[in-house]
């Protein structure tokens, strides 16, 4: 049964592609929250507008997607997070940015608003900020001999900022509470009113390590909205870039996780391979991270024969070296001792949070947008989605290793399939508001983009949902009962994006 | 393990040191004329601060430590605390939520210190300038000695900038500077 069929009085919105969007009643909204809470549907995204909230859901059974909208008369709506905890941080964000109150939300604290902006509700009423920031209240932890360690927002390594409040009994972590939002740049507000070329560049700067995947998702949502299609060559080249990005990031993570267990040789070896990948990307597309290479309607740069040759050489090189590195990983007892059984994420939580990427797949949730939605060209590529049940650091490492192998195979297939042809389809002015959505598999998990394009072709509202939204909260759960010294290891094995979540 | 180590590292992966960038040298010379600098020799400790970056700059700063760029051969190394640092390497358009953390990190760094702003956002807020959430440019918050542009700057560009910094610090005549 279609998701929307379960609503008695849903009003379908025209010009929303590729999935349906409907305006529902408050009762319909509560029904959706209850479906999520009962595990029948997955929460894909929850975001706001000036006078409405939107909820994107997926029905795993029927593999259907839908966007539900509730108009918020009186600036409030029934909380989804009250029944379904994965929505809590999303609703705190909607409240911070738009001033819409989720009635019944158990957590009254702000999330992205640290009391440092000049305005409150910057995308809603824009009232002047309170003269003094209210101190943030961390959740209490009671017990004998507990102590607290506050870490951040500036951390000891070359990483992004965030605050971690640990409560520990001796060495063992009893509770971790994250406080994020430090790198909130107001990207969605900057997108409003921007033309599409500027907006896709902003999307490509939501999380630098996923710059290809964000631009990819933005382009697909915009193309769905405008009813245009990228030419075949561009479709292949986009996937090529996305797989190069995936390999580069997984190599970085594999090395860095081992380094956090003091096994530096793996970091050195993986960093060499990663550098070769980035150099090949630069040779092929003119930018090491392939930033701004995907545009709405196609791609901005072409691949020549020299690029193809260097990619093939690189895949051979990785194919030769990776098995030796994974064997070294597997046979080093001191390293296995640190990663096996550490930071276990239960399959139940991964499923409840609809957690994507290697975090979900290491805990038994096999969702991969490339397979489930099979957006072109992945409908024409043979690949497997590796999955494990253990949910520990070791399982996440193995998913990364297996995904590098799969991506190398995908790259070879793409290079066989890709033919000469145009790189970009022209854009037309829509002349009426159009809406589009897309879900693209980045290295970290599925990235969701939703937008409404105004009649003049500018962005009226665009929402970007990073996979980290459904992974950060699970890190808090996975770390419980582990020792403080294993936090870097666990954190790296999740590798959530601060910037992608903070936006 | 020994074989893997030797195989990859044998031969010359490491790039030759790049010449210091002329434009950056000029910017540094101006900065140094204005502010007294004690001679430190060819060794600097760097503390990186993400003040709102998209994490692209961090990826390329990380790459400086790989075998190709091998930053430590220049006596440059990353440290975990601003209290150990000579140089603050700051990225991002400085979000309002990070402003105080940047100011406090700067205050915690002992003199003499240098600030290098990395990336187009760190120069003037880049694409994020003008929003409610960003201050826009590191120099609005702390004094900046050198800007390294790029989105993100490639490791070689970063290396050029840091080498320019080193050569200025290294050649600044102690006699020409006020004695404290």
The answer to whether the CB atoms of A265 and B5 lie below 8 A apart is yes
Cis bond upstream, residue A377 (ω within 30): yes
- Above pLDDT 90, what percent of chain A? 92
Please list, in sequence order, all residues whose beta carbon lies within 8 angstroms of the beta carbon of residue A184, skipping any fewer than 6 positions away. Answer: A112, A502, A503, B95, B97, B133
Average confidence (pLDDT) over A275-302? 97
By three-state DSSP, how is residue A332 classified? Answer: coil
In this model, does residue A324 exceed pLDDT 80? yes
Which residue stretches of A110-170 are H helix?
none
Residues A51-97 have pLDDT tens digits of 999 999 999 988 899 999 999 989 999 999 999 999 999 999 999 99
Alpha helices in A418-480 (DSSP H): 472-478
- The backbone torsions φ and ψ at residue B130, rounded to the nearest 5 degrees and listed phi first, read 90, -10
Which of A18, A58, A17 is CA-nearest to residue A36?
A: A58
* Alpha-carbon gap, residue A320 to A314, rounded angstroms: 10
Q: In this predicted structure, what is the pLDDT of residue B177? A: 33
Through-space distance between the first and last CA atoms of chain B, rounded to whole angstroms: 52
Least confident of A394-398, B7-11, B90-94: B7-11
**Cα B166 versus chain centre, distance:** 11
Q: What is the largest CA-CA distance in chain A?
A: 69
Beta bridge partners of A136: none
Backbone angles phi, psi at A434, to 5 degrees: -130, 150
Which pLDDT does position B14 carry in this prediction? 80
DSSP per-residue letters across A128-143: EPPSSPPPP-PPP---
Mean pLDDT (whole number) for B135-139: 95
Of the pLDDT bands very low, low, confident and very high (cuts 50, 70, 90), residue B2 is low
Q: For residue B177, what are its two tokens?
A: 């500077």
Q: Which two tokens stand for residue A335?
A: 């390293």
Of residues B57, B95, B134, nearest to A182 (C-beta):
B95
Q: What is the DSSP string of B140-171?
A: GTS--SEEE-SSSPPHHHHHHHHHHHHHHHHH
DSSP letter for each residue of B85-123: -SEEEEESS-BHHHHHHHHHHHHHSPSS-EEEEESHHHH
Q: Which of residues 230-289 of A touch B (CB under 8 A)?
A: 252, 265, 268-269, 271-272, 274-275, 278, 282, 288-289
Of A194, A183, A229, the closest CA to residue A376 belongs to: A229
The answer to whether the CB atoms of B8 and A205 lie below 8 A apart is no
| Spatial CB neighbours of A327, under 8 Å, sequence gap ≥ 6 | none
User: Across the strands, what pairs with A447?
Assistant: A440
pLDDT of residue B41: 57
> Residue B40's pLDDT is what?
54
Chain A: closest CA distance from residue B125 (Å): 10
**Alpha carbon separation from A23 to A88, A396, A464 (Å, rounded):** 22, 39, 21
CB contacts, 8 Å: B134 with chain A = 185-186
Give the distance, in angstroms, between the CA of residue A449 and the centroid of all CA atoms in the same chain.
10
- Test mutation, B3, B10, B133, chain A, max A CBs within 10 A: B133
pLDDT at B7 over 80: no
Q: What is the pLDDT of residue B39?
A: 47
Q: Which helix (H) or strand (E) holds A402?
A: helix A393-417
Residue A426 vs residue A442, higher pLDDT: A442
> What percent of chain A shows pLDDT beyond 70?
100
Q: Averaged over B42-70, what is the pLDDT?
A: 93
- Asked if B124 has any chain A CB less than 8 Å from its own CB, the reply is no
Give the range among A8-12, A279-283, A383-387, A474-478 with minimum mean pLDDT: A8-12
pLDDT at B175: 30
Quick one: pLDDT at residue B133?
97
Contact A289 B152 (CB under 8 A): yes
Query: Phi and psi at residue A478, in whole multiples of 5°?
Result: -70, -25
Comparing CB atoms, the residue among A116, A185, A324 nearest residue B128 is: A185
**Strand, coil or helix: what is A209?**
helix
Find, among B119, B63, B130, the residue nearest to B91 by Cα: B119
Q: Are A112 and A93 in contact (CB under 8 A)?
A: yes
Q: Which of A39, A40, A37 is nearest to A6 (CA)?
A: A40
- Rounded to the nearest 5°, which phi and psi values hold at A163? -115, 135
Q: Would you say the pTM of this structure is higher than 0.95?
A: no
pLDDT in tens, A392-440: 999 999 999 999 999 999 999 999 999 999 999 998 888 899 999 999 9
- A to B CB pairs, distance under 8 Å: 149
- Which residue out of A122, A182, A185 would a mutagenesis test of the B interface target, given it has the greatest number of B Cβ atoms within 10 Å? A185
Interaxial angle between packed helices A232-260 and A393-417, expressed in degrees from 0 to 180 and rounded to the nearest 10 = 150
Q: CA torsion, points A142, A489, A367, A48, in degrees to nearest 10?
A: 60
The reported pLDDT for the residue numbered B173 is: 36
Decide if pLDDT at B178 tops 60.
Answer: no
**pLDDT tens-digit map of B11-42:** 778 877 777 666 765 666 555 444 334 445 56
pLDDT of A315 higher than 60: yes
Q: Phi-psi bin for A156: left (phi > 0), alpha (psi -120 to 50), beta?
A: alpha
| Mean pLDDT of all residues in A190-219 | 97
pLDDT score, position B28: 60
**pLDDT tier for residue A48 given thresholds of 50, 70 and 90:** very high
- The secondary structure of residue A117, as a DSSP letter, is S
Instruction: Tell me the per-residue pLDDT of B101-117, one tens digit each, with 9 for 90 and over.
Output: 999 999 999 988 999 99
d(C-alpha A377, C-alpha A360), whole Å:
23
Helix (H, G, I), strand (E, B), or coil: what is residue A447?
strand
Look at the alpha carbons of B87, B93, B97, B100 in this order and tell me if their dihedral is positive or negative: positive
The rounded radius of gyration (Å) of the Cα atoms in chain B is 17
Element (H, E) at A403: helix A393-417
Strand ranges across the sheet with B146-148: B76-78, B44-50, B87-91, B114-118, B146-148
| Cβ atoms A7, A22 nearer than 8 A | yes
Q: Do A190 and B127 touch (CB under 8 A)?
A: yes
For residues A356 and A399, what is the distance between their CA atoms, to the nearest angstrom? 12
Taking only Cα atoms into account, the Rg of chain A, rounded to an integer number of angstroms, comes to 22
> What is the number of alpha carbons within 13 Å of residue A28 lying toward its C-beta?
21
Query: Across the interface, do B58 and A160 touch by the CB < 8 Å criterion?
Result: yes
DSSP 8-state secondary structure symbol assigned to residue A424: B
- For residue B8, the model assigns a pLDDT of 66
């Amino acid at each position: 049964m279609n998701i929307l069929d379960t609503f008695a009085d849903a009003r379908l919105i025209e010009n929303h592609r590729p999935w349906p969007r409907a305006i529902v009643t408050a009762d319909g909204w509560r029904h959706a929250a209850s479906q999520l809470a009962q595990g029948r549907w997955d929460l894909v995204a929850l975001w706001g507008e000036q006078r409405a909230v939107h909820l994107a859901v997926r029905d795993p059974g029927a593999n259907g997607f839908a966007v539900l909208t509730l108009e918020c008369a009186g600036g409030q709506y029934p909380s989804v997070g009250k029944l379904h905890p994965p929505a809590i941080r999303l609703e705190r964000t909607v409240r911070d940015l738009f001033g819409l109150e989720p009635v019944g939300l158990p957590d009254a604290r702000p999330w992205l608003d640290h009391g440092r902006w000049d305005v409150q509700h910057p995308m809603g009423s824009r009232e002047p900020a309170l003269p003094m920031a209210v101190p943030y209240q961390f959740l209490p932890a009671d017990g004998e001999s507990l102590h607290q360690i506050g870490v951040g927002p500036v951390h000891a390594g070359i990483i992004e900022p965030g605050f971690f409040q640990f409560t520990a009994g001796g060495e063992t972590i009893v509770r971790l509470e994250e406080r994020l939002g430090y790198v909130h740049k107001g990207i969605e507000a900057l997108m409003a009113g921007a033309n599409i070329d500027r907006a896709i560049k902003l999307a490509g700067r939501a999380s630098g390590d996923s710059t290809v995947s964000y631009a990819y998702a933005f382009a697909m949502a915009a193309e769905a909205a405008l009813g245009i299609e990228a030419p075949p060559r561009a479709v292949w080249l986009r996937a090529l870039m996305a797989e190069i990005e995936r390999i580069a990031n997984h190599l970085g993570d594999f090395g860095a996780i081992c380094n956090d267990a003091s096994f530096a040789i793996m970091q050195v070896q993986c960093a060499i391979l990663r550098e070769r990948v980035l150099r090949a990307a630069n040779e092929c597309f003119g930018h090491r991270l392939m930033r701004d290479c995907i545009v709405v309607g196609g791609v901005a740069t072409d691949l020549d024969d020299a690029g193809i040759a260097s990619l093939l050489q690189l895949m051979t090189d990785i194919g030769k070296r990776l098995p030796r590195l994974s064997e070294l990983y597997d046979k080093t007892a001191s390293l296995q001792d640190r990663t096996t059984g550490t930071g276990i994420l239960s399959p139940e939580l991964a499923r409840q949070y609809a957690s994507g990427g290697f975090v979900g797949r290491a805990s038994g949730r096999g969702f991969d947008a490339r397979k489930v939605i099979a957006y072109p060209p992945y409908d024409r590529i043979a690949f497997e989605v590796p999955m494990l049940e253990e949910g520990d650091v070791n399982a996440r490492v193995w998913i990364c290793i297996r995904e590098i192998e799969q991506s190398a195979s995908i790259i070879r297939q793409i290079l066989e399939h890709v033919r000469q042809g145009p790189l970009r389809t022209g854009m037309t002015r829509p002349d009426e508001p159009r809406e589009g959505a897309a879900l693209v598999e980045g290295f970290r998990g599925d990235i969701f983009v939703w937008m409404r394009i105004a009649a003049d072709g500018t962005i009226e509202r665009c929402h970007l949902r990073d996979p980290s939204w459904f992974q950060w909260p699970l890190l808090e759960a996975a770390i419980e009962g582990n020792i403080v010294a294993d936090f870097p290891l666990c954190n790296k094995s999740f590798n959530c994006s601060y910037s992608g979540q903070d936006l | 393990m020994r074989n893997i180590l030797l195989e990859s590292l044998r031969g010359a992966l490491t790039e030759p040191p790049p010449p210091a960038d002329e434009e950056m040298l000029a910017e540094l010379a101006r900065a140094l004329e204005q502010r007294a600098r004690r001679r430190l020799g060819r060794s600097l400790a760097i503390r990186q601060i993400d003040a709102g970056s998209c994490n692209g700059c961090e990826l390329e700063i990380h790459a400086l430590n790989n075998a190709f760029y091998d930053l430590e051969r220049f006596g440059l190394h990353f440290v975990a605390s601003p209290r150990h640092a000579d140089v603050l390497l700051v990225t991002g358009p400085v979000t309002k939520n990070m402003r105080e953390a940047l100011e406090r990190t700067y205050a915690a760094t002992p003199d003499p210190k240098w600030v290098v702003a990395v990336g187009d956002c760190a120069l003037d807020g880049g694409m994020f300038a003008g929003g409610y959430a960003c201050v826009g440019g590191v120099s609005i918050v702390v004094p900046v000695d050198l800007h390294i542009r790029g989105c993100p700057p490639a490791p070689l560009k970063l290396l050029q900038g840091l080498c320019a910094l080193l050569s200025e610090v290294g050649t600044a005549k102690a006699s020409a500077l006020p004695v404290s």
